[in-house]
Amino acid sequence: MGSAFCPACGNPSPTVITDGRAAPAPPDPAGTAPVLERLARALSPKYDVKRLVGRGGFAEIYELWDRDLDRRLACKVLHPEIAWTPGMLDRFRREAKALARLQDPAVLPIHFAGAGEGLVYYVMPFVEGESLADALRRRGSFSAEEALQVAEPILEALAHAHAQGLVHRDIKPDNVMLEAKTGRVLLVDFGIAKLLDPAAAVGTKTSTGFTVGTVHYMSPEQALGQANLDGRSDLYALGAMLFQLVTGTPPYDGDSSAEIVGKHLADPVPVASDVNANIPRWLSDVIVKCLSKKPEDRFQTAGAVLAALAAGRTAGSAPLTGAASAERRVQWLAEAVPGSSRPGSWVAGAGAGAGLVAVLVVAGWFARRGGYVGSGVMLVHNALVEPVELLRSGVPVDTIASEGTVRLTLAGGTWAAYRWRLIRPGNPPIGEPLEGPLPEPGRVRGRRVSSITADVAGQRYFAPLVTNTSASDVTLEVNPGTAAAVRCNCLVSRGAVRTHVGYYRLYENSAVAAYNSAHPYTGPHADREGFATRVARPSGALALMF
């Protein structure tokens, strides 16, 4: 398979979990076969490669069908003509692993990434809808309210990513998807420019053979080829995109890339309300600050931009709706209110009372959205080492990654209609099925949080994470401590690190045995037992070495 991440469980391990030894398809060193055929060979047989659905500047997009879970997926295949070096592939895997940790409703997640048959690819959910670029071509421009409904989820996603040290580097309308059924705004292709060539000068041909970046939305520091970009570069691109949303055109244009880059570097910042008189002045001011030439003159965080938008809606002429996260409300308010860096300074002077009321209104709204107050919102946290599926009245509504958290808006303020179900690793799935109702939420730092743990209906479970240091591949047998042992039907390759083999019931005398795969269950084997007290809570994780 050649996958850097297991397609079934997303485990960042070189191990391929299988119930037998798969014979690899013969390679195509010349790369002459169509990409669709090569991708089908590179992926696990559980995926059907259906069709090519689109092409972009650095990738082709194929529709997949997941046979096991009966769902559509999208696979981005980076252009085969890219000259991938071992160092680039290593960087791709590291960055993909980091990106897979992002848990935000507006970030399109990566299910798994891999390389094989001369292709480098990653798989994500299939989105039925259109790009923001297509919507702009079709409509021309958006109203101020519609523009903010697009910008705010993106800002929330950027705040989440920047807090983890991840920079998008290519914010533009082509990388924003508008889901047709729900209207959800999704940010795609996070960090791809860095994956391909982090040191390349933007707007020029790189060592990978194609152009990285888009000149209409490029920050001055990115245009100059600075390698150590931070989140403020994304905020500049967001400002350029927001300018285009409300005016119908990017802030700078020209007959060549060099001319446009020159304007980013030297021309005065355009004022959106001078182009479209219907734009509130406060919104135009936010865009101008985002487009400041020097990073230190811009908003310093995505949260600060969101706070400015919230303050503008409260005090401005347009009653616009927004979607700011309560988790960052203190930071946002501190940066949005003039003089707030000194405690008490912002209550002094004329108009302080009105400003205080506005801030309290915004803070209360944030608190309700974040689950700090009220009964209509709560957070669901998955403490397990495997992803879980969230169901409402038996219908899947979301997937929560390991250590991930999602926000639920509850109908009638109750969570009784929700259940969760473990997504087991392997193909076929290994380990015991695990599911249950959502636990009653408790208060965590003031918020209502329901935590999914390895303690279910009074029974504890454990998840062996197996490292194989032996000289051969091994197969495993898990004895949960009852009358029947469970053969996991899995193969743990020599050199595998922390391989996932599912969850099992935990008792004081639970044990795990590893057998040489050449003599399964008859030859020499190694036992591990007496580990019940070492099983981690709340995840149930147990690291074992053979």
Q: Which residues pair with 500 in a beta bridge?
A: 465
CA–CA distance, 357 with 337 (Å, rounded to integer): 12
CA–CA distance, 414 with 179 (Å, rounded to integer): 27
- Strand order across the beta sheet in which 474-479 lies: 486-492, 474-479, 511-516, 525-529
Report angle CA 478, 20, 506 to the nearest 5 degrees. Answer: 15
CA–CA distance, 188 with 146 (Å, rounded to integer): 20
Do 207 and 197 touch, CB atoms closer than 8 A? yes
C-beta neighbour count of 86 within 10 angstroms: 7
Which helix or strand (DSSP H or E) is residue 411 part of? none
- Angstrom CA distances, 544 to 466, 467, 528, 529, stand at 5, 6, 8, 10
Chain mean position to CA 469: 32
Residue 247 has what DSSP assignment?
A: H
Q: What CA dihedral angle connects 299, 302, 306 and 307, to 10 degrees?
A: -60
Question: Of these residues, 170, 174, 189, 473, which one is catalytic?
Answer: 170
- Angstrom CA distances, 152 to 33, 250, 311, 468, 471, stand at 43, 19, 13, 46, 53
Give the long-range contacts of residues 219-226, CB within 8 A, separation 24 or more. 219/264, 219/295, 220/264, 220/265, 220/293, 220/294, 221/295, 222/169, 223/261, 223/264, 223/265, 224/265, 225/200, 225/201
Q: Which residues pair with 378 in a beta bridge?
A: 408
Residue 348 has what DSSP assignment?
A: S
Report angle CA 331, 246, 178 to the nearest 5 degrees. Answer: 80
Whether 170 is a known active-site residue: answer yes
Give the active site residues. Answer: 170
